[in-house]
Amino acid sequence: MRIPLIAGNWKMNKSVTEARSFIEAVQGKLPAADVVETAIAAPALFLQTMLDANRDQVLRVAAETCYYEDEGAYTGETSPKALHEMGIPYTIVGHSERRRYFNETDDVINRKVLAVLRNGMTPIVCCDETMGRRESGEKIHWVVNQVSAALKGVSLEDAAKIVVAYEPSWAIGSGTSASSDQAEEGCYLIRQTLADIYSDEVANGVRVLYGGSVKPDNIAGLMKRDNVDGVLAGGSSLDEHSFIQLANYQNL
């Protein structure tokens, strides 16, 4: 059984004080982690404050990115080894904004996936799809290629632990989510790719999330779909009331 994962991605938003108040506000209001797992990925400089404020330990505090080396002369980068040592369980890798604004290539993303796994964390591997590619019918090829490239050299045992997120760029920050049919189609395609690369067993165990304008008023429809195991929410994860609603989508 795949436990749903409702994850937020704060991107470069909030101050440390705001991050702390958010964590305090959600204590006791999220579902038990063995029923619906919840996570917030935040800027590295907030993580320790968030961990300290997270008294009930239900919410997973996650990173938005990290470097692919464990340590060394890489000014400004975040070490996956240090993240693990802090107690961070998840790191997003390959978000479309990292690909677009920071020139992260499939090769860099693959190295980061390997580094996150090597350091005992779980990567949330993002897979992007542009509208141009969707309209030209190129989507299948594109999604399959990104998943395969990100997982190059990942063992079957490690592949079983990862999380993948289908995040069409045309739905990110647009206010208009993909329809539940489109989300299901993207997540199914990712699962099929995992089955082709690894096995049906791995594909059936991996959680595949949908991301792009997920809000309290559309999450229930998305979560009903067979291959959508959770969401990665940007804007609607910034407000604690809205995140609590997303986490409790089963009651909406």
- Count residues near ligand 13P (CB under 6 A): 14
> Has 9 been labeled as part of a binding site?
yes
User: Measured from the CB atom, is 68 or 170 closer to ligand 13P?
Assistant: 170
| Distance of alpha carbon 123 from alpha carbon 18, whole angstroms | 26
What is the distance in angstroms between the CA of the first residue and the CA of the last residue of the chain? 22
User: Measured from the CB atom, is 230 or 235 closer to ligand 13P?
Assistant: 235
Paired residues of 233 in beta bridges: 8
Beta-carbon count within 10 A of 250 CB: 12
212 touches ligand 13P (CB under 6 A): yes
CA angle 160, 10, 246 (to 5 degrees): 70
Give the residue carrying structure tokens 């929410």.
233
What is the per-residue binding string for ligand 13P in 173-192, x denoting contact by CB under 6 A?
x-------------------
| Distance of alpha carbon 176 from alpha carbon 155, whole angstroms | 36
> Has 152 been labeled as part of a binding site?
no
User: Measured from the CB atom, is 64 or 158 closer to ligand 13P?
Assistant: 64
> Has 11 been labeled as part of a binding site?
yes
Q: In the annotation, is 95 catalytic?
A: yes
Residues that bind ligand 13P (CB under 6 A): 9, 95, 167, 172-173, 211-214, 232-236
Catalytic residue list? 95, 167
